[in-house]
Structure 1
Amino acid sequence: MIRGGRTTPRRVEENTLTTYRIAVIGGTGPQGKGLGYRFAKHGHEVILGSRAAEKAEPVAAEVTERLAGVSGAGTVTGLANADAVAAADVVLLAVPYDGHDELVATLPLAGKTVISCVNPLAFDKRGAHGRVVDGGEGSAAESAQRIAPEATVVGAFHNVSAVLLWGDEDYLDEDVLVVGDVVEAKQVAMELAASVTSRVGIDAGKLRLARQLEPFTAVLISINRKYKVHSGIRVSGLGHAATE
Structure 2
Amino acid sequence: MTSEEKYRVAVIGGTGPQGKGLGYRFARGGHDVVLGSRAAEKAEGIAAEVRDHLGGTTGAGPVGSVSGASNADAVAQCDVVLLAVPYDGHDELVASLPLAGKTVISCVNPLAFDKRGAHGRVINGGEGSAAESAQELAPEATVVGAFHNVSAVGLWEEPGFLDEDVIVVGDVVGAKQVAMALAASVTGRVGIDGGKLRLARQLEPFTAVLISINRKYKVHSGLRITGLGEPH
Please give the residue correspondences for 1:219-238 in structure 2 after superposition, counting only pairs within 5 Å: 219-238=209-228
1:183-222 alpha-carbon deviations (Å, 9 max, x no partner): 0000000000000000110000000000000000000000
Match of 1:4 in 2: none
For 1:40 and 1:231, locate their aligned partners in 2 and report how far apart those are by CA, in whole Å.
Answer: 23
2:204 is the alignment partner of 1:214: yes
2:20 is the alignment partner of 1:33: yes
Match of 2:190 in 1: 200
For 1:30 and 1:159, locate their aligned partners in 2 and report how far apart those are by CA, in whole Å.
Answer: 13
Match of 1:125 in 2: 115
For 1:157 and 1:148, locate their aligned partners in 2 and report how far apart those are by CA, in whole Å.
Answer: 20
Is there any run of 5+ residues in structure 2 with no aligned partner, and where? Answer: none
For 2:173 and 2:215, locate their aligned partners in 1 and report how far apart those are by CA, in whole Å.
Answer: 36
- Looking at both structures, which has the greater relative contact order when contacts are Cα pairs under 8 Å and sequence separation is at least 6? 1
Please give the residue correspondences for 1:43-192 in structure 2 after superposition, counting only pairs within 5 Å: 43-68=30-55, 70=57, 71-192=61-182
For 1:202 and 1:45, locate their aligned partners in 2 and report how far apart those are by CA, in whole Å.
Answer: 23
For 1:106 and 1:157, locate their aligned partners in 2 and report how far apart those are by CA, in whole Å.
Answer: 23
1:77-120 alpha-carbon deviations (Å, 9 max, x no partner): 00000000000010000000000000000000000000000000
In structure 2, the residue corresponding to 1:215 is in which secondary structure? helix
Deviation at 1:168, TM superposition (A): 3.4
In structure 1, the residue corresponding to 2:20 is in which secondary structure? helix
For 2:20 and 2:102, locate their aligned partners in 1 and report how far apart those are by CA, in whole Å.
Answer: 21
For 1:149 and 1:230, locate their aligned partners in 2 and report how far apart those are by CA, in whole Å.
Answer: 35
Match of 1:8 in 2: none
Q: Which moved more, 1:160-169 or 1:114-123?
A: 160-169
For 1:148 and 1:38, locate their aligned partners in 2 and report how far apart those are by CA, in whole Å.
Answer: 26
For 2:56 and 2:194, locate their aligned partners in 1 and report how far apart those are by CA, in whole Å.
Answer: 36
In structure 2, the residue corresponding to 1:84 is in which secondary structure? helix
Deviation at 1:68, TM superposition (A): 1.6
In structure 2, the residue corresponding to 1:214 is in which secondary structure? helix
State the identity as a percent.
79
Deviation at 1:69, TM superposition (A): 5.7
Is there any run of 5+ residues in structure 1 with no aligned partner, and where? Answer: 1-11
1:46-97 alpha-carbon deviations (Å, 9 max, x no partner): 0000001011000000001111264401110000000000000100000000
For 1:76 and 1:165, locate their aligned partners in 2 and report how far apart those are by CA, in whole Å.
Answer: 16
In structure 1, the residue corresponding to 2:157 is in which secondary structure? coil
Runs of 4+ with deviation above 6 angstroms:
none
RMSD, aligned α-carbons: 1.3
In structure 2, the residue corresponding to 1:38 is in which secondary structure? helix
In structure 2, the residue corresponding to 1:191 is in which secondary structure? helix
Paired residue total:
229
